[in-house]
Amino acid sequence: MSGKTKIAFLGTGLMGAPMARRLLGAGFSVTVWNRDAAKAEPLAADGADIAASPADAVAGAAIVFTMLTNGQAVSEVLFERGVADSLAEGRIVVDCSSIAPQIAREHARRLAEKGIRHLDAPVSGGVVGAAAGTLAIMAGGDGAAVESLKEVFAVLGRVTHVGPSGAGQVCKLANQQIVAVTIGAVAEAMVLVEAGGASRAAFRDAIRGGFAESRILELHGARMVERNFAPGGASNNQLKDLNAVMAMADELSLELPLTRQVRQEFADFVESGGGEQDHSGLLLQLEKLNPRN
């Protein structure tokens, strides 16, 4: 895969912008588009071409990355705004958005009718991982297509082929289950520690490296101690993913009590105005449930 390979990157928000910047830094030719052009324009300083429309962005591209809000947004960009019609046969669409598995499978089917390959490749690692190139990338679709893009994926993080179309999204939902439940566990522990008279910061330091160690404790635990809830991952997006998990669980007749409970906690937090705060801000919801005089 040559650094001259032309890549289109559609969606340059919190995650998309640093991912596109990584590709530019690796020498790839990247054209970017974002619904709000103001979020794409700063990438011009890094060497990106800025497109006025999604169809313009993908003209001549060998690979198209999408990092958009939800399945509806991806469908619209691919099939209503000219992307699928502007791509030649054999091109690859890599959807890094977090969407429902059945929607990813439908996108793959519709693109295959035009001879275009599709990978659902959602990511985990947040803005920090996107900027550092350490994302965990869960790719569903054709294994040969994943292998053909290994040099591109290596710039962004570590890719794992997890199964056929839709499997990447299933694994991302499972990842989001673990993230949400662990955030809830750390937040509850922070409430307990403070109510019991200990220091939250000292508690976090004390258990680092033990069996409770995790990236959630490291990063989101620090946010809870510092009360810094500017979004790296917004709570409304966490709730969207948990809703998708529960819909899938109902479809498969699964009972997931921890996930169901934390989904309700995030729903209450979002309803009370916390949707744009980081998902570590779930601490605020638990503090409301446990007021201290």
- Each residue's pLDDT, cut to its tens digit, for the chain (293 residues) gives 655 789 999 999 999 999 999 999 999 999 999 999 999 999 999 999 999 999 999 999 999 999 998 999 999 999 999 999 999 999 999 999 989 999 999 999 999 999 999 999 999 988 889 999 999 999 999 999 999 999 999 999 999 999 999 999 999 999 999 999 999 999 999 999 999 999 999 999 999 999 999 999 999 999 999 999 998 889 998 998 899 999 999 999 999 999 999 999 999 999 999 999 999 999 999 999 999 85
In 3D space, the residue among 28, 43, 168, 173 whose CA is nearest the CA of residue 108 turns out to be 168
Q: What is the CATH number that goes with domain 170-289?
A: 1.10.1040.10
- Quick check: 25 and 8 in contact, CB under 8 A? no
pTM: 0.87
pLDDT computed for residue 126 by the predictor: 86
- Quick check: 116 and 87 in contact, CB under 8 A? yes
Rounded CA separation 48/45 (Å): 7
Domain ranges of the chain: 6-163, 170-289
Pairing of strands 135-140, 123-124: antiparallel
- Of residues 4, 6, 172, 240, which has the active-site annotation? 172
pLDDT computed for residue 293 by the predictor: 58
Q: Is 172 a catalytic residue?
A: yes
Burial class (CB in 10 A: 0-12, 13-18, 19+), 118: buried
Out of 1.10.3720.10, 3.30.110.30, 1.10.150.20, 3.40.50.720, the CATH code matching 6-163 is 3.40.50.720
pLDDT computed for residue 191 by the predictor: 98
pLDDT computed for residue 172 by the predictor: 95
- Quick check: 6 and 57 in contact, CB under 8 A? no
Rounded CA separation 53/37 (Å): 10
